[in-house]
Amino acid sequence: MAQAANALVLPVARARAPRLPLARWLWSGGILVALAFLVLYPIAMLLVGALTNANPIVEGIRVGDLSPANFIAVLANPNVHAALINSLVVCGAGTAVAVVIGLTFSWIVVRTDTPCKTLIAATSILPLFVPPLVAAVAWSILGSPRTGLLNTIFAGFGLDWRVNVYSMAGLIIVFGMYYAPYVYMFTSAALRNMDPALEEAAEVSGANPTRTLLTVTFPLILPAIVSGMLLSFIVMLGIYGIPAVLGTPANIPVLTTYIFKLTAWSPPLYSTAAAVAIILMVVTGVLVWLQQRVLSGRSYTTVAGRAFRPAQLKLGPWRYLTLALAVIYLLIVVVLPTLALVIASFRKFMFIRDIAALFDLRAYGSVHYDRLFANPLVLRSVINTIEVGLITAVLGGVFAFAIGYTVTRTQAPARKSIDVISTLPVAIPGLVIGVAYLWAWIGLPGGLYGTIWILALAFIARFMPDTIKALSSSLMQIHRELEEASWICGRGLVGTIRAIVLPLARPGVVAAMALLFILAIRELGSSLFLYTSETMVMAVLLLDYYEGGNLGITAAFSLIQTMLLAVAIAIAHLLSRGASNKVGLGRTG
Amino acid sequence: MKLSLTRRRALQAGGSAAFAAFALPARAARENPFGPPDLIEAAKKEGKIVYYTANFTEVEQEVIKAFNKRFPFVRIEMVRAPGGQLITRIKTEAAAGKLAADVIDHSDRGLMLELQDLFQDYAPPNAADYLPSVLVSPKLWPRVTLGWSIAYNSALVKNPPKSWLDLTKPEYGNGQIGQVIAPSGGTTWTRILFERKILGEDYWAKQATTKPRLYPSGAPASDALVRGEITIAPLLYNIVWTKKRDGAPLEIFFPPEGVPVTPMRPRSRRPRPIRMPPSSSSTGASRRKARLS
């Protein structure tokens, strides 16, 4: 049927963009050069670092020094084994939790008549925008086994319950809660696009709703579940903040915390860190490849092309239970952690002996905020963060549009290579690539190092796959006929993009830029080696405060960063209202 | 770029002043505790120091505040990073000819000695007060004397330990004790070697039986102590003292077996505040100083 439809439009589809072979080669060549600079060169530096025992800038690169010895030593190191196993267990189980939460909420939002669905939908996405370090600090305040606020409150009420987030289970649940949105976004879209006729057929055949859900609905959206699952796993694998805060007190090292430790030790073990990073990249790379395969299979399982409205299950009084589930999730993931940060930021010391001490107003004051605002670096970091976020959003948005358009809409040469190279950064955690950016770009002429621009370049490179993904979906929604009509009417390629593609794709472009802005505000890993005194950004300063051991100031600064993110999200929401694509396939470091 | 060129020019002018500062006898230093007037004037013209430190932001902000009370015309731009990351940054920047730091503060003497060619000879006005054995290079100067103490949360510990060896007792087991790991930095290596040399080869093994909680550095360990996450911890006195001063439920003591310290100036006649030498401000990119804390 679909093939027949294609055959009908063929004569029109023969219209082609104006043919300028040299220009097309120059265009593709230009993009490839930019990608080589932004992606391949830093990765090559990282590989050199892993295969030698030297800093490639300090000692130079000598081919004779390259040896797998360092890499083999890392592979044989029992500490690396322990970190790798912990990473796989924590992220694997965390993904399972994320699937349960994400799938439940996507089903509630799309397929049931639960009240307040807009609120539930927003709640399901919200945790994505909480920086991992902030979430972890908040949960350490709430769920530490000895001094956690929740435990103090339980004890105050004579309850024998205890929460311990400094544990494998704690790590898994916190990961699961904060990365469930990835599963939600994939599965809710799939559920929305699914033809209800299949479920109706099951019901007509006598299957009850639960059986229909388990035997028809979920199997049909399995590719979406798997791709959401893989993405959340990949993202968790690259996260530093959560295992650093919650895993370290329980002596649970994961690959990212192990890498960070190697770089921070005195003396630093960079080549070892780079080799461990390569392991992380390989694991992530395999998963990305799997995800791509699953995504490419998606079109076989979801039915599209006809207008329909997914059937909604009438839950009756049970709809209040589903609403309650959403409210509890909101409470656990957003309200309680924010409250914990507020308490910690206003309390002079976070020693709370019992529940009465929690309400002792003499223990509260604005001392942490006073100290925070007395530090000139704070204001500077806020300004720098906004500045670097804006540059990243604009330049990254334009570059991603160029790549997305080239890959999805043109016959330009080397399209496949451009696609593959621009996807590579998804497999490299920020913490790992940070030092590679430094090695790769510090020697560039023109004084790039030490400016905001080098940070922006790193963010553009790191988040390119996310931006392109967000953009491509909106580009794909514009039917080719519209461009072809423009070409037939004599407009050139650039004119067509300006007059037809850009106006139609605008909501998607704005959403992608907003996503880039938000991701840039949160990004820690790749900033660590590129900032200088004048280009300090908020994420780095937050880590400084956390490492400096003052929980009160850390909490106060976390709240400021969260507020800035909330404002950014609100503006992004306003700007991209009406955009059909999803904001937020973001990764973090 | 322009800025660093300007600084290099200022440096050429300041070279002789630096030598003069080095040559000043102790008596002259007391008369001009911050260096000769022409040096201070040069600092005023330059107006800025880029300062790299492995110490904690908050502690350094206090030092900068004190420095700026005396020298409000010199802006301090600080880059703070953990020891290992800071060394990598310094090495990479220097190799690329883009080392931005004017003064570097790092706790690992061994690592800094490897980099000493990056720095210029320098001597603070009170150079004669320093213990000769701590002066490992005319380019590297000890900055502060840090000593290890044992601190405990007085609201939670009813029977506090009284010595280093007490920390190996089973009654303080099960994660009550917090320990900063050895590769955290130079001061921690000092404590670790003290434990082996003075408390015995088997001290580490005995300590491990108490299953201490490990921390990457002293600051988060001191915060955990205040919160009651851990109840006892060997910590640098300067980290815990400020918390006790501000009202945290802490007690601190120096154990009888000895105190691991990084000595600096035993000949000093009276206690003096830690200060950044003003002469450094008039120097610049190629006249960097490293300080060991």
Q: Does A531 touch chain B (CB under 8 A)?
A: yes
Query: For the sheet containing B250-253, what is the strand order?
Result: B232-236, B148-153, B250-253
A244, two tokens: 């650093």
CB contact under 8 A, B85 and A549: no
Instruction: Considering only the beta carbons, identify the residue of B92, B107, B214 that sits closest to A58.
Output: B92
Average pLDDT over residues B4-10: 28
Does residue B161 share a domain with residue B25? no
> Is there a domain that residue B241 lies in?
yes
Flag whether pLDDT at B274 surpasses 50. no
Residue B30 Cα, gap to closest chain A Cα (Å): 32
Q: Tens digits of per-residue pLDDT, A134-147?
A: 899 899 999 988 88
- CATH topology agreement for domains A32-76+366-589 and A80-362: yes
Q: What is the pLDDT of residue A268?
A: 73
pTM for this entry: 0.79
Q: Are A471 and A400 in contact (CB under 8 A)?
A: yes
Distances (CA, A) of A97 to A104, A180, A182: 11, 8, 12
Q: Is B90 helix (H, G, I), strand (E, B) or coil?
A: helix
Chain A residue numbers touching B216 (CB-CB < 8 A): 248, 261, 264, 547
Cα–Cα distance, B132 to B267 (Å, whole number): 10
Task: Give the residue from A120, A136, A229, A141 showing the smallest Cα distance to A174.
Answer: A136
Mutate to test the interface with B, among A375, A533, A535, A540 (most CBs of B within 10 A): A533
The mean-pLDDT minimum among A161-175, B147-161, B250-264 falls in: B250-264
Residue B1 Cα, gap to closest chain A Cα (Å): 6
Instruction: Considering only the beta carbons, identify the residue of B78, B88, B214 that sits closest to A55.
Output: B88
Q: Is A147 helix (H, G, I), strand (E, B) or coil?
A: coil
Helices (H) and strands (E) counted in chain A, each on its own, are 30, 0
Distances (CA, A) of B10 to A51, A116, A297, B34, B103: 42, 67, 66, 19, 16
CA closest to B59 among chain A residues: A548
CB contact under 8 A, B80 and A544: yes
CB contact under 8 A, B92 and A55: yes
C-alpha R_g of chain B: 21
| Amino acid at site B232 | I
B212, two tokens: 């201490």
What proportion of chain B, given as a percentage, has pLDDT over 70?
78
Instruction: Considering only the beta carbons, identify the residue of B89, B110, B219 that sits closest to A529.
Output: B89
Q: Does A240 touch chain B (CB under 8 A)?
A: no
Cα–Cα distance, A89 to A259 (Å, whole number): 18
Does residue B123 share a domain with residue B25? yes
Q: What is the pLDDT of residue A576?
A: 64
Start-to-end C-alpha separation, chain B: 30
Strand (E) or helix (H) holding B106:
strand B103-106
> Is there a domain that residue B66 lies in?
yes
Does residue B140 share a domain with residue B47? yes
Task: Give the residue from A94, A539, A556 showing the smallest Cα distance to A365.
Answer: A556
Contacts of B57-63 with CB under 8 Å at 24 or more apart are B57/A375, B57/A377, B57/A541, B57/A544, B57/A545, B57/A548, B58/A371, B58/A545, B58/A548, B58/A550, B58/A553, B59/A548, B59/B238, B60/B105, B61/A374, B61/A375, B63/B274, B63/B275, B63/B276
- As for how many domains chain B has, the answer is 2
Chain B residue numbers touching A449 (CB-CB < 8 A): 93, 96, 98
Q: Does A534 touch chain B (CB under 8 A)?
A: yes
Instruction: Considering only the beta carbons, identify the residue of B183, B186, B220 that sits closest to A549.
Output: B220
The upper half-sphere exposure of residue A418, i.e. CA atoms within 13 Å in the direction of its Cβ, equals 26
Other CB atoms within 10 Å distance of the CB of residue A406: 21
Tokens 């380019």 sit on residue: B139
Antiparallel, parallel or unpaired: β B48-53 and B103-106: parallel
Cα–Cα distance, B182 to B214 (Å, whole number): 10
Q: What is the pLDDT of residue A309?
A: 62
Q: Tens digits of per-residue pLDDT, B201-247?
A: 999 999 999 999 888 888 889 989 999 989 999 999 888 888 898 88
Cα–Cα distance, A329 to B181 (Å, whole number): 37
> Is there a domain that residue B262 lies in?
no
Instruction: Considering only the beta carbons, identify the residue of A58, A263, A449 that sits closest to B84.
Output: A263
Q: What is the pLDDT of residue A6?
A: 40
Tokens 């029977």 sit on residue: B159
Q: Who wins on pLDDT, A151 or B5?
A: A151
CA closest to B242 among chain A residues: A550
CB contact under 8 A, B85 and A350: no
Q: What is the pLDDT of residue A83?
A: 92
Does residue B32 share a domain with residue B173? no
Q: Tens digits of per-residue pLDDT, B175-211?
A: 899 999 888 777 888 899 999 999 999 999 999 999 9
Q: Are B279 and B18 in contact (CB under 8 A)?
A: yes
Asked if the bond preceding A267 is cis, omega within 30° of 0, the reply is: yes
Q: Are A211 and A81 in contact (CB under 8 A)?
A: no
Cα–Cα distance, A427 to A153 (Å, whole number): 42
Tokens 């939670």 sit on residue: B156
Q: Are A531 and B78 in contact (CB under 8 A)?
A: no
**Confidence class for position B111, pLDDT limits 50, 70, 90:** confident
Average pLDDT over residues B141-161: 91
Does residue B166 share a domain with residue B74? no
Residue A378 Cα, gap to closest chain B Cα (Å): 11
> Is there a domain that residue B263 lies in?
no
Cα–Cα distance, A586 to A98 (Å, whole number): 16
The whole-number mean pLDDT for each consecutive block of 10 residues of chain A, a chain of 589 residues, reads 40 51 83 92 84 68 69 86 93 95 90 84 83 89 89 88 92 94 84 78 82 83 83 85 88 88 75 81 79 59 50 77 89 91 90 84 88 85 93 93 84 82 79 78 76 90 84 71 75 74 76 84 82 85 83 91 85 64 42
CATH architecture type of domain A32-76+366-589: Orthogonal Bundle (1.10)
Does residue B171 share a domain with residue B141? no
Does residue B138 share a domain with residue B153? no
Chain B residue numbers touching A547 (CB-CB < 8 A): 56, 82, 216-217, 219-220
CB contact under 8 A, B57 and A544: yes
Instruction: Considering only the beta carbons, identify the residue of B155, B189, B222 that sits closest to A549.
Output: B222
CATH architecture type of domain A80-362: Orthogonal Bundle (1.10)
A68, two tokens: 């797998």
How many Cβ pairs closer than 8 A exist between chain A and B?
A: 160
Q: Does A479 touch chain B (CB under 8 A)?
A: no
Cα–Cα distance, A183 to A46 (Å, whole number): 31
Q: Tens digits of per-residue pLDDT, A454-466?
A: 899 999 998 888 8
**Stated length of chain A:** 589
Does residue B169 share a domain with residue B116? no
A325, two tokens: 């589930």
Q: Does A549 touch chain B (CB under 8 A)?
A: yes
Cα–Cα distance, B185 to B84 (Å, whole number): 8
Other CB atoms within 10 Å distance of the CB of residue B117: 7
Chain B residue numbers touching A443 (CB-CB < 8 A): 96
Q: Is B249 helix (H, G, I), strand (E, B) or coil?
A: coil
Chain B residue numbers touching A548 (CB-CB < 8 A): 56-59, 219
B213, two tokens: 């909680």
Antiparallel, parallel or unpaired: β B140-142 and B232-236: unpaired
Q: DSSP string spanning A362-397?
A: GGB-SHHHHHHHH-HHHHHHHHHHHHHHHHHHHHHH
Chain A residue numbers touching B78 (CB-CB < 8 A): 377, 533
Task: Give the residue from A70, A64, A65 showing the smallest Cα distance to A50.
Answer: A70
The DSSP symbol for A363 reads G
CB contact under 8 A, B84 and A534: no
Does residue B234 share a domain with residue B97? no
Chain B residue numbers touching A142 (CB-CB < 8 A): none
Flag whether pLDDT at B33 surpasses 70. no
CB contact under 8 A, A270 and B94: no
CB contact under 8 A, B220 and A268: no
CB contact under 8 A, A349 and B248: yes
Residue B50 Cα, gap to closest chain A Cα (Å): 7
Distances (CA, A) of A57 to A161, A274, A440, A533, B119: 54, 15, 8, 22, 19
> Is there a domain that residue B159 lies in?
yes
Chain A residue numbers touching B243 (CB-CB < 8 A): 349
CA closest to B106 among chain A residues: A266
A219: left (phi over 0), alpha (psi -120 to 50) or beta: alpha
A335, two tokens: 């309200």
Task: Give the residue from A223, A216, A188, A218 showing the smallest Cα distance to A201.
Answer: A216
Chain A residue numbers touching B213 (CB-CB < 8 A): 249, 251
The DSSP symbol for A223 reads H
Q: Is B150 helix (H, G, I), strand (E, B) or coil?
A: strand
Q: Are A155 and A354 in contact (CB under 8 A)?
A: yes
**Confidence class for position B263, pLDDT limits 50, 70, 90:** low
Other CB atoms within 10 Å distance of the CB of residue B48: 18
> Is there a domain that residue B258 lies in?
no
Does residue B129 share a domain with residue B17? yes
Ramachandran angles phi, psi of B68, nearest 5°: -70, -20
Range of the domain at B248: 148-253
Q: Does A54 touch chain B (CB under 8 A)?
A: no
| Amino acid at site A373 | F
Chain B residue numbers touching A531 (CB-CB < 8 A): 79
Other CB atoms within 10 Å distance of the CB of residue A68: 11
Does residue B282 share a domain with residue B243? no
Strand (E) or helix (H) holding B141:
strand B140-142
Q: Are A535 and A450 in contact (CB under 8 A)?
A: yes
- State whether ipTM is beyond 0.85: no
- The CA-CA-CA angle for residues A409, A234, A139, to 5°, reads 130
Question: What sign results for the dihedral spanned by CA atoms A353, A358, A360, A361?
Answer: positive
> Is there a domain that residue B16 lies in?
yes
Ramachandran angles phi, psi of A95, nearest 5°: -65, -40
**Stated length of chain B:** 293
Start-to-end C-alpha separation, chain A: 45
> Is there a domain that residue B261 lies in?
no
Ramachandran angles phi, psi of B288, nearest 5°: -85, 155
Domain limits of chain A? 32-76+366-589, 80-362
Mutate to test the interface with B, among A266, A358, A454, A531 (most CBs of B within 10 A): A266
Q: Who wins on pLDDT, B291 or A482?
A: A482
Q: What is the pLDDT of residue A252?
A: 92
Ramachandran angles phi, psi of B152, nearest 5°: -140, 155
- The CA-CA-CA angle for residues A109, A110, A114, to 5°, reads 45
B191, two tokens: 């404590």
CB contact under 8 A, B186 and A375: no
Task: Give the residue from A279, A270, A237, A235 showing the smallest Cα distance to A81.
Answer: A279
Chain A residue numbers touching B59 (CB-CB < 8 A): 548
Task: Give the residue from B178, B279, B265 showing the smallest Cα distance to B230.
Answer: B178
Q: What is the pLDDT of residue B285?
A: 31
Chain A residue numbers touching B88 (CB-CB < 8 A): 55, 263, 268, 270, 435, 438, 529
Q: What is the pLDDT of residue A375?
A: 79
Does residue B133 share a domain with residue B8? yes
